[in-house]
Amino acid sequence: KKPFHANPWVPIDFVCFFSPRGTWAMAGHPRVVRAARTILRSAAHNTNPRRRVMHTFPALGSTNLHSASAVQEPPSNSDIIGNWGTQQPTSVTLKDLCEIGLDRRRRLEHAQFLHRELRIRLAQRTLELLSLPYGLPERPGICEVIKWYSEYVQILEEAPVPTNMHEDEDFTRMLDSILHERNQVMHTLALGVQDLMAELGADYEKIHVEVDAILRRFFMARIGLRFLLQHHVESLNNREGHSGILQLECEPAALARKAAADCVMLCKAHLGQSPEIVIEAEPGTFTYVPMHLYYMLTEVFKNSLRAVVEHHGEGGFDDWLPPVRCRIVHGCEDVTLKISDEGGGISRSRERDIWKFMYSTYKKSPWASQKGIASPPGGSVLAGYGVGLSLSQLYARYFGGDLKLLSIDCFGTDVYLHLSRLGAMCESLPQVVLYSPSMRDSSISSEDGLSERLLISADEEAFLRKELSSFRRDSR
- Could you give the CA distance from residue 5 to residue 250 in angstroms, rounded to a whole number? 70
Type of residue found at 52? R
Return the closest-CA partner of residue 306 out of 291, 321, 327.
321
Domain CATH code at residue 205: 1.20.140.20
Report how many domains make up the chain: 3
Q: What is the pTM of this model?
A: 0.73
d(CA 424, CA 412): 37
User: Which of 244, 263, 286 is the last residue in one of the domains?
Assistant: 244
Distance CA(292)–CA(288), nearest Å, equals 8
Centre a 10 Å sphere on the Cβ of residue 402 and count the other Cβ atoms it contains: 16
Residue 66's contacts (CB-CB under 8 Å, 6 or more residues apart) are none
* Pair 265, 339 in one domain: yes
What angle is formed at CA 388 by the lines to CA 387 and CA 393, rounded to 5 degrees?
100
Residues 102 and 155 reside in one and the same domain: yes
Alpha helices in 272-406 (DSSP H): 290-312, 366-371, 388-398
- The boundaries of the domain holding residue 108 are 81-244
pLDDT tens track of the chain, all 476 residues?
344 344 444 444 555 555 444 444 555 545 455 545 544 444 443 333 333 333 333 333 333 333 333 344 556 778 899 999 999 888 888 888 888 888 878 889 999 999 999 999 999 999 989 988 888 899 888 999 999 999 999 999 999 999 999 999 999 999 999 888 766 788 888 888 888 888 888 888 888 888 888 888 889 989 999 999 999 999 998 889 999 999 999 999 999 999 999 999 999 998 889 999 999 998 899 999 999 999 999 999 999 999 999 998 765 666 789 999 999 999 988 999 999 999 999 999 888 888 888 776 554 443 344 444 333 333 445 555 678 899 999 999 999 999 999 999 999 999 999 998 877 656 656 677 777 787 776 554 433 433 333 444 555 556 666 666 666 666 66
Looking at 244, 265, 293, the residue that finishes a domain is: 244
Position 470 in a domain: no
Q: The domain spanning residue 275 has which CATH number? A: 3.30.565.10
Q: Are residues 418 and 282 in the same domain?
A: yes
In sequence order, which residues have a C-beta less than 8 Å from that of residue 68 and are 6 or more positions away?
29, 31, 32, 35, 57, 60
